[in-house]
Amino acid sequence: MEPFQFGYLTLDGYVEGDHESKRLSNTRELRIQYFQEEHASEYVVAEYENDVMNGEAKLFNRTVLSLKWTCEQGKRIGNFTVYRNGIAWRDGNWLNLFDKYDDICFIENCIFGKEMVLIDRQSGIPVYRGNYSPQSHKREGLGCEYSPHTGKPIHYGWYVDDVLRELYQEFSEDGMMYEYKNNQAVYVGEYKYNPQSGRFVRDGKGNEIDPSSHLAVWSGAWVMGKKAEGVALDDRGYYKVNAPAQKENEEAVVRGMGAFRTLPPKTKSLVFDASFGSDEELPSVDLSALEYLQQVSLEDGALASCPGLTVSSLKFLTCLTLGSDCLETASSCVLSGEGEKEA
């Protein structure tokens, strides 16, 4: 794997062009340094003393701030801040950045608060995201560790002095999440990252586990941490014979095969989310069993890895809308039956 590249932080590869100067004193000036070629839209505004950068420096792209740091006699010192489209994104430290051994540490500005991001220096992949000690920059509180090879989550829990003390969630290689309470499993199934909270939540097909019996008490589809459709099981783990039928749902948004397979048969409006099949291999999708469907919509990129889609014998279907880049790898699409199709 290639080592983490941070040349954009040190302006490696930037070809200098013209510059403008404003004299501040006999020895100090404020200089605007322009660049050429691929960085022609960027420029640095910095303080210079005796023709050496000394003081605050800022990098702009089309007048929008993208990087801020401090120099002392031409040497970068202290902390720096990276901006994305004018929003503070990451705070870092130059000593840590140039260290050859430790993980690269950033403090990231998130919508739910600040969190520490540790990046593996060799792979460039984040290996930790979560709470931290502002003094020591050690893992402290809630956090998640990731594989330095795949970037996939490994476990999420409570850290004390850089050590995982209590496990809350564990992620298997086959894409399943095991959720624990008091070291006992309470859920096993599919999951999704919620960027609004910075947490992994139940999403897709999954089972709620009774920690005392270690058996499933409910099985079905989840949407962003909430039960959608499913059935109850008895205290022996068997489906209840007289369990009520799944409730009818006139509108449904599906993000995975688990949610799709548990759709109520009388669903009338179906939306395939853009994330459905964008990063996983899927079987062919057949809508024929959902005979009450009236509208079907595939968002941009939905079912990208799906080998085929069958839409037939749907007498109530009036609209089929396909977004861009959906069904990208499909080798067959069967569209037949009544109704008006729109692509």
Backbone angles phi and psi of 261, in degrees to 5: -70, -20
Q: Do 82 and 67 contact (CB within 8 A), yes or no?
A: yes
Residues 187-201 have a mean pLDDT of 94
DSSP per position, 260-287: HHT--TT--EEEE-TTTTSSS----EE-
Task: Between 313 and 11, name the one with better pLDDT.
Answer: 11
| Confidence grade of residue 47 (pLDDT, cut at 50, 70, 90) | very high
| Confidence grade of residue 278 (pLDDT, cut at 50, 70, 90) | low
pLDDT above 70 (res 336): no
SS3 content of the chain, % helix, strand, coil (to 5): 5, 50, 45
Residue 342: per-residue pLDDT: 39
| Confidence grade of residue 164 (pLDDT, cut at 50, 70, 90) | very high
Residue 279: per-residue pLDDT: 59
183 Cβ partners below 8 Å, 6+ apart? 167
| Confidence grade of residue 67 (pLDDT, cut at 50, 70, 90) | very high
Residue pLDDT, tens place only, 117-162:
999 988 889 999 999 999 999 999 999 999 999 999 999 999 999 9
pLDDT above 60 (res 244): no
Residues 20-32 have a mean pLDDT of 91
Residue pLDDT, tens place only, 249-266:
567 887 777 777 777 777
Q: Please, where are the H alpha helices in the chain?
A: 7-10, 94-98, 257-261
pLDDT above 90 (res 189): yes
pLDDT above 50 (res 319): yes
Output 207-214 pairs: Cβ under 8 A, ≥24 positions apart.
209/185, 210/235, 211/181, 211/182, 211/184, 211/185, 211/186, 213/237, 214/184, 214/185
Task: Between 83 and 278, name the one with better pLDDT.
Answer: 83
User: 163-177, 233-247, 313-327: which has the highest mean pLDDT?
Assistant: 163-177
| Confidence grade of residue 20 (pLDDT, cut at 50, 70, 90) | very high
| Confidence grade of residue 281 (pLDDT, cut at 50, 70, 90) | low
Average pLDDT, the chain: 87
Q: Do 124 and 2 contact (CB within 8 A), yes or no?
A: yes
| Token pair 């729109």 in the structure block, residue | 342
